[in-house]
Structure 1
Amino acid sequence: MYVQNTGEVIRCGQKSAFFLADLLAEHAVTCTEAGKDRYGRTLAHCEVEGQDVGAAMVRAGWALAFVRYSREYLPQEEEARTAGAGVWATEFVAPWSWRRGAR
């Protein structure tokens, strides 16, 4: 996903990856299986030093709550949107819309 901000293209996927790398740094990551998706892939909640990684990514504005499958991270997304954090500081197309061709 690329983000337009006053004509500037921002590599938000790269910024998100850097944020995640900084969050994890050299800490141990603990994941707890939460089920399987329709393709049989494992779904999990992961934590680093007691902090939910998904919640941290959404709160920082570098991930979105994927409400098609869960409303779990909506409070963090609202917090990020209100603060103008990460992608919320710009105009952007959600990843699922981008993949459908809304560019």
Structure 2
Amino acid sequence: MKFLAIFLVPLFLFALEGKVISVTDGDTVKILTFERQQIKVRLYGIDAPEKKQPYGTAAKRYLSDLIVGKTVQIEELGKDRYKRVLGIVYLNGKDVNEILVLNGYAWAFTKYSKIYESQEWKARSKGLGLWRDKNPIKPEIWRKTI
């Protein structure tokens, strides 16, 4: 008896692929494409603490340790007002934006998308990362105070 196995593999059409050459902060990276073009990418749907904000350095370090020097794929979702690519970053098929939120290194940026809202609640309930603080301040609010 012969069996025909059919595997359904999700097909992602990535607009960009390249090696991460630097991390600006917890939600912005620079990649070098295979065409040798440098592109700044703002991670879509999340908002990490600013550099001088509590957990800002930790968020940057976590993201750096996770992806610097590695090849990533970017699902491009537009551009922001600074002309950075807005995108979901994938490393070995895993959503890096989601990983940051799940581990408490970024908020779900619900002002623009609800995509990572449940992941934020998981991190909050476990007291991970920035959720160790009693009253963490969202970066969008913190930016208005400086």
**Fold match by TM threshold 0.5:** yes
8 Å CA contact 1:58–1:76 kept in 2: the answer is yes
Distance 2:88 2:128 in 1: 23
8 Å CA contact 1:62–1:86 kept in 2: the answer is yes
Aligned mate of 1:85, from 118, 122, 128:
128
Q: Which has the higher helix share?
A: 1
Distance 2:78 2:69 in 1: 27
Aligned mate of 1:61, from 91, 101, 104:
104
Kindly report structure 1 stretches of 4+ aligned residues shifted beyond 6 Å. none
Unaligned segments of structure 2, at least 5 residues: 1-49
Cα RMSD (Å) = 1.9
Distance 1:49 1:39 in 2: 28
Which structure's relative contact order is higher, taking Cα pairs within 8 Å and 6+ residues apart? 1
Rg larger in structure: 2
Q: Equivalent residue for 2:143? A: 99
8 Å CA contact 1:58–1:64 kept in 2: the answer is yes
Q: Equivalent residue for 1:8? A: none
> TM-score, length-normalised on structure 2?
0.58
Q: Equivalent residue for 1:21? A: 64
Q: Aligned pair in 2 of structure 1 residues 31, 99: CA closer, same or farther (>3 Å)?
A: same
Number of residue pairs matched by the alignment: 94
User: What is the CA-CA distance between 1:21 and the residue it aligns to?
Assistant: 1.2
Distance 1:96 1:61 in 2: 16
Distance 2:111 2:97 in 1: 16
Identity %: 36
Q: Equivalent residue for 2:94? A: 51
